[in-house]
Amino acid sequence: MKHSRTIKPKTSEYVFQGVNYVVLTLLTLLFLIPFLIVLSTSFVSSAEYARRGSLILFPQKIDFDAYRVLLTQGSILLNAYKITLFRVVVGTACNLLFTAMLAYGIAKKGIPGRNGIITMVFITMVFYGGLVPSYLLVKSLGLVDSVWSMVFPSLINAWWLIIMKNFFAQIPESLEESAFIDGANAGTVLLRIVVPLSMPIFATIGLFYAVWHWNSWFDASIYINGTTKLPIQVIMRNIVLSMSNQDLNQSVLADMATTPPPAATVRSAVIIVSTLPILLLYPFLQKYFVKGMIVGSLKG
C-alpha cells in the first residue's frame, strides 16, 4: 500500500507483510500444482512407471511417447482440433457479427421499437426455455449432427450484447451524424466509424466468445452423435473421464508396436494437449479479460 510508505513502517508491519507473502505464495502454488502434476505425469514412460510406481512428481527422463501416440494414432484428436478451430474461428466471427449489429441498433435511442427489443432480450436473461425444448428445436431444425449446432443456438449472449450496446451508446452522436450528412448509410457508419472506435470492446467480447467456444462441450455432446464432428473438449471427456483403461488401450493405443505408455500418462497428455493453447495465449490476453470483467460488472 502506497500510503504506508509515507510513514515509516513498524516492525509489526514487516511481520504482517511476511505472513501475507507466505500465504499468498502458498495459494499461488495451489493454483499451479494441479497443472504441474498433470504435466509431469504426461512425461512418464511405461518403463519408469513399472520401476518407480505411479506417483512420480519428477520423471527422470522426459518421455514423449504419450504425445507421439496422440499425434500419430490420434487422427481422432487431430480431427477434433479442426472442429474446435472451426467453432472458435467461424463461431466467434458469427457471434461478433450478429452481436454487434443488434447492439448497434438498440444503442440508438430514437429507433421506434427499441424498448420492445431490449425487453425481449431481457426476458431471455431471466427465463430459460429449458433443456428439452431447446434440444427438440435444434433437432427439428435439422441441425443435429451438423457443426452449425455449435454455432447458431448460442449466436448471441445477452449479457455481452448489453455490454456492447452500452459501449456503442457512449460514442458521440456527432461523429455518426456527420457521416450521415455525407450520405453514408447505417451499415457504412457501423463499419467505418463505430467499429474502428470500438476495437477494445470487440477484442474483449471476441475473446469471451472465443474462450467460450474453445471450452464448450455440452452442446456438442448432446447435438452430435458421430465422432468425426466432435470438438476436442468432448473427445477429451471421453478419453479422460469415461473410458476405462482397457477401452483406452484398445481404441487409442491399439496399433502400438512397442509397449504403450501407461493410461495415466496418456490421459494427462490429453489434458495438456487440449489446454496448452489457452495456457500459452492466456498471459498475453489476460488484461483484456480483466478490462472486460470490470466494464461488464460496473455497468452491465
Partner 1 sequence: MKAAGGSSLRGRMARYRMHYALMAGGILYFIIFRYVPMYGITIAFKNVMPFDGIWAMVTAPYIGFTHFINFFRSYYFWNIIGNTLAISGLKLLFGFPAPILLALMLNEAWGIRFKKVTQTISYLPHFISMVVLAGLVSTLLSTSGGVFNEIIKKFGGETIYFLGEPKYFRTILVVSDVWKNMGWGSIIYLAALSGTNPELYEAAIVDGAGRWKQTLYITLPSIAYVIVIMFIFAVGGLLDAGFEQILLLYSPSVYQVSDIIDTYVYREGLINMKYSFSTAVGLFKSVIAMTLIVGTNALARKMGQEGIW
Q: Which of residues 16-55 bind partner 1 (CB under 8 A)?
A: 16-17, 20-21, 23-25, 27-28, 30-32, 34-35, 37-38, 41, 53-55
b vs e for 273-288, b when ≥16 Cβ sit within 10 Å of the residue's Cβ? Answer: bbbeeeeeeeeeeeeb
Question: Contact, 166 vs 118, CB < 8 A?
Answer: no
Report the residue number, 52 or 82, with the smaller CB distance to partner 1: 52
Alpha-carbon distance of 248 to 166, in angstroms, equals: 50
Round to whole Å and give the CA distance between 147 and 168.
Answer: 31
CB contact set of 15 (below 8 Å; sequence gap of 6+): none
106: contact with partner 1 by CB under 8 A: yes
CB of 34 to partner 1, least distance (A): 5
- Cβ-based nearer residue to partner 1, 119 or 258: 119
Which of 64, 81, 86, 98 binds partner 1 (CB under 8 A)? It is 98
Nearest to 278 by CA among 223, 216, 230: 216
Using the rule CB under 8 A, give the single segment among 58-66, 67-75, 85-93, 119-127 that binds partner 1.
119-127
**92 lies in the site for partner 1, by CB under 8 A:** no
Q: How far is the CB of 58 from partner 1 (least distance, A)?
A: 13
Written as nine digits, the cell of 177 is: 451524424
Residue 102 binds partner 1 (CB under 8 A): yes
What is the footprint of partner 1 within residues 65-84 (CB under 8 A)? Answer: none
DSSP letters spanning 67-81? HHHHHHT-HHHHHHH
Cell numbers for 90: 467461424
Which one among 11, 58, 61, 126 touches partner 1, defined by CB under 8 A?
126
If the CB atoms of residues 107 and 257 are measured against partner 1, the closer one turns out to be: 107
Minimal distance, residue 195 CB to partner 1, in Å? 12
Q: Give the burial class of 164: count Cβ atoms within 10 A of its Cβ; 0-12 exposed, 13-18 middle, 19 or more buried.
A: buried
Piece of 73-81, 99-107, 195-203, 253-261 that binds partner 1 (CB under 8 A): 99-107
Indicate the residue among 129 and 226 with the shorter CB distance to partner 1: 129
Query: Which DSSP state fits 8?
Result: P
Q: Which is nearer to partner 1, 73 or 215 (CB)?
A: 215
Please identify which residue in 76, 261, 268, 269 interacts with partner 1, judged by CB under 8 A: 268
Task: Report the site for partner 1 in 179-238 (rule: CB under 8 A).
Answer: 180, 185-187, 190, 211, 214-218, 222, 233-234, 236-237
What number of other Cβ atoms are within 10 A of residue 183's Cβ?
Answer: 7
CB count within 10 Å of CB 130 equals 9
DSSP for 10-79 reads PHHHHHHHHHHHHHHHHHHHHHHHHHHHHHHHTT--HHHHHHH-S--SS-SS---HHHHHHHHT-HHHHH
User: What's the rounded Cα separation, in Å, for the pair 59 and 88?
Assistant: 35
* Residue from 152, 195, 197, 256 in contact with partner 1 (CB under 8 A): 152
Residue 89 vs 101, nearer CB to partner 1: 101
For partner 1 (CB under 8 A), the number of binding residues is 111
Residue 258 C-alpha from the chain's centroid: 37
Instruction: Tell which one of 201, 243, 263, 266 touches partner 1 (CB under 8 A).
Output: 263
- Region binding partner 1 by CB under 8 A among candidate stretches 68-76, 95-103, 195-203, 253-261: 95-103
